[in-house]
Structures are given as structure tokens and as C-alpha cells.
Amino acid sequence: MPALQEKTLGQLLDETIAHCPDTEAVVYVDRDFRLTYREFGDLVDTVAKGLMALGVQKGEKVAVWANNVPYWVTLQFATAKVGAVLLTVNTHYRSHELKYLLENSEAENLFIIGEYRDHDYLQTVYELIPELKIQERGQLKTETFPHLRRVFYLGHEKHRGMYSIPELQAMAAMVSEQEYAERQALLDPHDVVNMQYTSGTTGFPKGVQLSHYNIGNNGYWIGKNQDFRVGDRLALTVPLFHCFGCVLGVLACINHGVTMVILEDFVALEVMNAIDQEKCTAVYGVPTMFIAMLDHPMFKRFDYSTLRTGIMAGSPCPVEVMKRVMDKMNMTEITICYGLTESSPVMSQTKIGDTMAHMTETVGTAMPEVEIMIADPETGAECEPGIQGEVCCRGYNVMEGYYNNPKGTAEAIDANGWLHSGDLGVMDEDGYLSITGRLKDMIIRGGENIYPREIEEFLYTMDGILDVQVAGVPSARLGEEVGAFVILKEDADLMPEDVMDYCRGKISRYKIPKYVAFLTEYPMTASGKIQKYKLREHAHELWPDA
């Protein structure tokens, strides 16, 4: 194949269907749900035509607020085939965060499930959009979300103001094959097809716009570096709303005709059972997921002999964990990836055959057709090998930009096309990249990126808080936990538990501070800037057993 493919996601799927129509595409072990590539393609086309029939136009955003349910991957390609933009929504979001996303993205469509863990999605949506209960479906008009037109329920049940999946599929009969083909002929590989919210380097979440060209090609090379081929079977355990799931997982599989054995949520026992039953050849996860399996009391009851590769990513990989995964799970060809949503997401990956040192001390070398540069944070000049600087990348994988945010885009991508990651790294003479720290204040908790400013801005709304700084607290299990360092108003009488209680139900559970300390002042530089690294050091003193 050429180095880079000028194809839409729909074209990539159609080519795979033509190449291996009877290979299983999607499998859910817990309900014996199985679709071959041909059957999956038929379902995608039906849902795509249903969207067209209901008036979904090219360029419209289709938000999906759901865990890894069967229709998630279908929607990823159905939206792509009609030229819509799949807008992925974090399953941990609460009303405060969903409201921001729907407003900022100007989303015209929303798909939801009924509930996730302890959170009632239906109740949240009805509270945010009470008009759903009184207005005609498809004719929604709401002052809060003036762009929102349609809400769908990802299931068979009927809910007021929402279309169900059977109703969406039935609408497909209203769109002819010619109309469907004409819509697809309008699409360009450089159109935006996916939007994911991330805070970039600072501040509130921004909508990262990714094209077919961005993520289709990234998926190809991610799979190629694992030597994916027809017959491989991937246990896909990570959330689809993250690039880890929908690009490293889904698009690597689609590009190479690999079977996706999808788990709705990560449950160690269910993943081990899926690997055994489905004879999986690969599995994905963050280090804590692999640890959970390796340390599970029933680990030895399952067969891992068919495994050979996969990806460990999301946070640094401990050497001992990597050794155990290769030895106990037979994953001798496992790879490590590094990147960020803005880079589609992978900019570097280890290769099959790399040394143990390269697999644990580095994040591999630049992906094909991608340049990586270590830049001096002060001057922007390229650093010599072995010298620490900011990790930057340039190539087909750099995002199209942040949605409606030219200022943020210009801050992230410089005039020469280099995407600035905000991470510090070192590159050796052979091009292997090691991540050494962060310019930005981001916290990484078990693979979830958490941006302190977002939590700080929320906590400023709490009575009694004068100032608040959020920083990472070292954690043996999750890498980092969230710590809040609070200065109280003079008359305030608060306990740490009060701060945590204030957050519950309003922001995602993983963002709620696990640790709260009350201070009278912050460590400052001579110029008056707060030194967050000193707060992180202080956290180690306050909570040594974290």
C-alpha cells in the first residue's frame, strides 16, 4: 500500500468487507453477539440510512454518551458514511460536564444509554433538556442547547422525545441506494469525522477535530506495528470514547480485518474468560488492567497460549509488569504507544523485537510518516540527542484544530506545523523516545487524563473556598491521585470531606479529589507564580502511604 491512504473510514470498511466478508468483525462473548464483516457492514449501512432519513446532514455532530455497547462501533462508521462527526462523550461525565460539551460543540444529535454504574443518564438528560418530554421528536427546540435537534436512545425501549434503535433502523427504508451513494460521493478523506474533548495543555476542555485521513492512517500503522492480519482477534477492553478504543482498537482492526472481541467494561474475570473462549491473539489495556488480571485469584484457570501481541499504554509501564505480561500471558510481541488526542493519537510506538529496555524505558520510535522533535521549551530550537525538551510532532496525524477555537489551535500547533505536546522527553541517537516529565500540570490517574484547572474552576464555586490549587499525589496503584490544596476564607469552617461531598454527582468520580489539605499560603516563585511541583512534593510528605 502507499505510505498514506487517501480514503474515508467508510471506504476502509468497504475494502475490508470485500477482502474478508466472512471473518467475524464484532463479538460480545457475554451475550453471544456475533457479526461477520459483511453483516457488520449491512448494519452500518442501515443505521447510516436511518440517520439520513431523519435529516442528519454532512458536518453535523453526533454525540454518543455510552460505554462499549454493540451499537457504539456501528455508529462510528454509520456517522462516517453520511459525513457526520462522531462526538465521543466520556462515560464518567456528570450533568455539569455534559452541559458544557453540548454547548461548546454545538452538537445537533445525542445518543445515550439508560444508565452507567450509579449514574442515571436518562434523568440527567431530561433535567438538562426538559423540553424532550413535551416536544415532537426531531423538532426539538431548547434555549440551553439551540443547535440540538434529535436525541436517540441506544436500545429498544421507548422514551419520551427520543428515537429508539429499532425506529432508527426502520427509517432506513426511506433512503434509496442512489441517495446513499450520492451522500458518500460528497465526502473527502480530509473532512472532520471524529471529535473528542480534551483540555489540551491548559484550561477547559477543547473539541479536538480529527479527519478520516488522520485516524484512518494512524489506525493502519498501529495495527501494522503489531503485525495484525486477518485471523487475529483483539480483546478490546478499553473505553471506545477514548482514542485508545476507537483508533488504536477499532481502526487498527478495520484496517487489517481483525476481529474485535469487545468488553462493555473492564472486569478482569470477564476479560480473561474472553481471551480464553475466543482464542484472542491480542489484548489492550493500561498497566493497572494488566495488573488486575495478573493478580486475580483465578488467573491461572484461563488459557493465554493464543496471545502474542497487544498494546499497553495510558501511563508508564513498570518493568516487572511488562516481564510478567510477556511471561505469564504469552504476550512476547506486546507494544507500547505514546501520543495525545491531538496527534490522532499515536506519534510513537515500540516495535516487535525491541529490547526489554526499549519496551519499558522508552515509548518507541516515531510512527511512519510522522516526525518527532525534542524542542527547547525556551527557544523552540531542536535539542541534541540525550537533552530534555518538549516533545513535538509533525505529520499526517496532527489534528485539524480545536473546534471554534483558533487561539487554542495556534497555541498548540506552531507556524511550522509542529504540535506541542506539553510533555517533556529525551530522544536517543537511535530515535527512541523517553517521556521524562510534563510542562503542563496534567494528572494521569490510571490512564485517565485530568486537568487541574477544570477542577479548580469548579471548586471556586464552593462557599468558604478562597483559593484552590489541584495537583497530582503519587499513588502506587494508579500512578497519581487528585489532591486539592485549599486556602479557606476567614470565617469558613470546612472539613476535607465537605470538599469531596460538594463534588459528588456534579463532576466525574475520577476527578473528585481523594486528598484535601488546607493551607495558609502556597509556595511561590520570586515572580509570584505558584510552584505546583512543590505542592506535589508536599503531597508526598502529607500522604506518604498514598
Percentage helix, strand, coil for the chain under 3-state DSSP, each rounded to 5: 35, 25, 40
Looking up residue 474, the CATH number of its domain turns out to be: 3.30.300.30
The per-residue pLDDT for range 426-453, each reduced to its tens digit, is 999 999 999 887 777 778 888 888 888 7
The residue type at 463: D
The answer on pLDDT for 97 being more than 50 is yes
Same structural domain, 29 and 150: yes
Same structural domain, 383 and 467: no
Q: Which of 44-53, 361-370, 393-402, 428-437 has the lowest mean pLDDT?
A: 428-437
Domain with 253 in it: 9-265
Q: 238: which 3 cell numbers?
A: 478499553
Q: What is the predicted pLDDT for the residue at 89?
A: 96
Contact 507, 484 (CB under 8 A): no
Residue 31 CA from chain centroid, whole number: 25
Please calculate the CA angle 39-209-203 and round it to the nearest 5 degrees: 130
Same structural domain, 522 and 416: no
Q: What is the predicted pLDDT for the residue at 527?
A: 43
Same structural domain, 238 and 339: no
Mean pLDDT, residues 445-472 taken together: 87
The per-residue pLDDT for range 149-195, each reduced to its tens digit, is 999 999 999 999 999 999 999 999 999 999 999 999 999 999 999 99
In-domain check, residue 325: no
Q: What is the predicted pLDDT for the residue at 203?
A: 60
Q: Which of 43-52, 59-68, 375-384 has the lowest mean pLDDT?
A: 375-384
Alpha-carbon dihedral 27, 32, 36, 41, rounded to 10 degrees = -80
What order of strands is seen across the sheet that includes strand 346-349? 33-36, 24-28, 259-262, 233-236, 282-285, 309-312, 335-339, 346-349, 365-366
The answer on pLDDT for 528 being more than 70 is no
Which of 384, 408, 438 terminates a domain? The answer is 438
Indicate the number of domains in the chain: 3
Mean pLDDT, residues 70-82 taken together: 98
Mean pLDDT, residues 129-143 taken together: 94
Looking up residue 95, the CATH number of its domain turns out to be: 3.40.50.12780
The answer on pLDDT for 281 being more than 70 is yes
Work out the mean pLDDT of the chain and round it to a whole number.
Answer: 93
Q: 176: which 3 cell numbers?
A: 434509496
Share of the chain above pLDDT 70, in %: 97
Same structural domain, 161 and 59: yes
In-domain check, residue 186: yes
Same structural domain, 408 and 482: no
For every residue of 347-405, DSSP letters joined together read EEE--TT--HHHHHH---EEPTTEEEEEE-TTT-PBPPTT--EEEEEEETTS-SEETT-
Same structural domain, 414 and 476: no
The answer on pLDDT for 202 being more than 70 is no
Same structural domain, 41 and 179: yes
Buried b (16+ CB within 10 A) or exposed e, 501-536: ebbeeebbebbbbbbbbeeeebbeeeeeebebeebb
Q: What is the predicted pLDDT for the residue at 199?
A: 58
Q: What is the predicted pLDDT for the residue at 286?
A: 86
In-domain check, residue 47: yes
Q: What is the predicted pLDDT for the residue at 525?
A: 55
For the whole model, what pTM was predicted?
0.87
Mean pLDDT, residues 18-34 taken together: 96
The answer on pLDDT for 46 being more than 50 is yes
Q: What is the predicted pLDDT for the residue at 374?
A: 98
Q: Say which residues have a Cβ less than 8 Å from residue 89's Cβ, sequence separation at least 6.
A: 63, 64, 65, 66, 98, 101, 197, 241
The answer on pLDDT for 526 being more than 60 is no
The per-residue pLDDT for range 411-426, each reduced to its tens digit, is 999 999 999 998 889 9
Same structural domain, 107 and 208: yes
Q: Say which residues have a Cβ less than 8 Å from residue 93's Cβ, sequence separation at least 6.
A: 65, 101, 508
Q: What is the predicted pLDDT for the residue at 200?
A: 44
In-domain check, residue 242: yes
The per-residue pLDDT for range 303-348, each reduced to its tens digit, is 999 999 999 987 777 788 899 999 999 999 999 999 999 999 999 9
In-domain check, residue 473: yes
Strand partners, 366: 348
In-domain check, residue 304: no
Which of 395, 419, 438 terminates a domain? The answer is 438
Going from the C-alpha of 471 to that of each of 110, 221, 275, 355, 484, the distances in angstroms are: 33, 35, 37, 34, 7
In-domain check, residue 317: no
Same structural domain, 470 and 392: no
Grid-cell match 460536564, residue found: 97
Q: Give me the sign of the Cα torsion angle 494, 495, 496, 500.
A: negative
The per-residue pLDDT for range 508-522, each reduced to its tens digit, is 999 999 999 999 988
Residue 345 preceded by cis peptide, ω within 30 = yes
Distance CA 168, CA 47 (A): 7
Same structural domain, 128 and 256: yes
In-domain check, residue 404: yes
Looking up residue 354, the CATH number of its domain turns out to be: 2.30.38.10
Which of 224, 246, 265 terminates a domain? The answer is 265
Same structural domain, 347 and 400: yes
The answer on pLDDT for 201 being more than 50 is no
